Amino acid sequence: MKLDIYIEKNTMKYEVIIKNALIQNLSEEIRNVYTGKKIAVLTDENIFELYGSKLESSLHEQFYISFIVIKPGENSKTLNVLEFVYAKLSEYNIQRSDLIIAFGGGVVGDLTGFAASTYLRGIDYIQIPTSLIAQTDSCIGGKTAVNLTQGKNLAGSFYHPKAVLIDTDFLLTLSDKHIKDGMGEIIKYACIKDLSLFQILMNIKSKQDLFEDIEEIVHTCLSIKKQLIESDEKDNGMRMLLNFGHTIGHAIEKYSGFQIAHGEAVSAGMLIITKNSERIGYTEIGTYEKLKAVLDNFNIQYNLDDYNKEEIKKYILSDKKNLNNNINLILLKKIGESFVRNVPINLIDEFITP
Ligand SMILES: NC(=O)c1ccc[n+]([C@@H]2O[C@H](COP(=O)([O-])OP(=O)(O)OC[C@H]3O[C@@H](n4cnc5c(N)ncnc54)[C@H](O)[C@@H]3O)[C@@H](O)[C@H]2O)c1
């Protein structure tokens, strides 16, 4: 399956290829966008161990490959690790005309994108995403970032890859925890824009069912994101719909010291906001129960008694998206339809009570 992502007011585009066993044809796909020889591949230790040699053997006939391997997980999205990446790019003598590949989950993707956008004032890069979050979400849209001690994703840039190459077979080795994290995001896409995706998700009864439909699901999610980012590249309008569940979810993640998984926190965020917006009258009655049912279908935990309104509020008020004493909340009209509601901060309690 293919998708073209148009950027910069339709003057440029990059291609997304979604296919199982794509790793065998990577050289051909890379050749479509890169005529040089040298490639630096940024990845983490888990991916390197699982797929490093496979990637190298797929590419070594046509390219000269150097790996930059970082520790897995969010703690690697830092300025320190970025500096390590710059040092490696310099050690490998990577020039402006060379290529960088982001080979891993969202952490590798965000960090690589930022390194590529800044090293030598910008080097082309390609995304080869391997986690469910990366394949359905972070690989397109061009948001790159590292975290600062002051907060998540606070330093970054908009910098688009030259191509996105998605081999869904990589997902077979993903842990159940990270599959659930990805499912949280996929459920979000269905809720904000796609009732038929929601129905597909309700019919998935096993991991085998999920993997049978996975190419279609990845394609659907990226098609939804494509629509939103093409109309709002810099995240000032419709792209904000992608934040459904995330304002409360990020607050929960932070105040739990990142002990509550991202997927769980976002799921709780989607439920809390929907429970309240249904009570206030913005959301069709029954939507909250449907959302609970789809989360149950994927065994995603959401005991709302575990969450504390005051803690959520404290973190929401310190959020960078919270401008001029108003906050943009994403609400569902019903499953498959969403909208942005600008709410004064003094009314926030009504929307965030678990
Ligand atoms: N740029 C964007 O638009 C955007 C969008 C959503 C999320 N994000 C970012 O993405 C990050 C979260 O993404 P993530 O969950 O992929 O994080 P991650 O990169 O830390 O990956 C999660 C874990 O899964 C492992 N993993 C990845 N692929 C695997 C595979 N095929 N087999 C086995 N293990 C595998 C990784 O080694 C890691 O331990 C966050 O930093 C978030 O801010 C960015």
Tokens of 65: 């490959």
Strands, DSSP E only, in 9-168? Answer: 12-18, 38-44, 64-70, 99-104, 124-129, 143-148, 151-158, 163-166
Round to the nearest angstrom and report the end-to-end CA distance of the chain: 40
Phi, psi (deg, nearest 5) at residue 208: -65, -45
Q: What whole-number distance in Å separates Cα of residue 70 and Cα of residue 337?
A: 39
Architecture of the domain delimited by 2-173: 3-Layer(aba) Sandwich (3.40)
Instruction: Identify the pLDDT of residue 241.
Output: 95
167 lines ligand 1 (CB under 6 A): no
181 lines ligand 1 (CB under 6 A): yes
219 lines ligand 1 (CB under 6 A): no
157 lines ligand 1 (CB under 6 A): no
CB-based contact 333:241 (threshold 8 Å):
no
Distance 317 CA to ligand 1 centre (A): 26
The answer for residues whose C-beta is within 8 angstroms of residue 298's C-beta and 6 or more apart is 180, 183, 187, 201, 204
At the topology level, CATH places domain 176-352 in: Dehydroquinate synthase-like, alpha domain (1.20.1090)
Q: Kindly report the protein residue whose alpha carbon is nearest to atom 35 of ligand 1.
A: 174
Spell out the domain ranges in the chain: 2-173, 176-352
What percent of the residues of the chain are helix, what percent strand, and what percent coil, each to the nearest 5?
A: 50, 20, 25
Q: DSSP state, 54?
A: H
Distance 74 CA to ligand 1 centre (A): 8
SS3 230: helix
| pLDDT tens, the chain, 354 aa long | 999 888 877 778 999 999 999 999 999 999 999 999 999 999 999 999 999 999 999 999 999 999 999 999 999 999 999 999 999 999 999 999 999 999 999 999 999 999 999 999 999 999 999 999 999 999 999 999 999 988 788 999 999 999 999 999 999 999 999 999 999 999 999 999 999 999 999 999 999 999 999 999 999 999 999 999 888 777 777 889 999 999 999 899 888 888 888 888 999 999 999 999 999 999 999 999 999 999 999 999 888 888 889 989 988 887 656 567 889 999 999 999 999 999 998 899 999 999
122 lines ligand 1 (CB under 6 A): no
Instruction: Identify the pLDDT of residue 320.
Output: 59
Binding-site residues, please? 106-110, 130-131, 143, 152, 170-173, 185, 246, 262
Please give the number of the atom of ligand 1 that sits closest to the Cα of 171. Answer: 31
Q: What whole-number distance in Å separates Cα of residue 29 and Cα of residue 20?
A: 14
Pairing of strands 124-129, 163-166: parallel
73 lines ligand 1 (CB under 6 A): yes
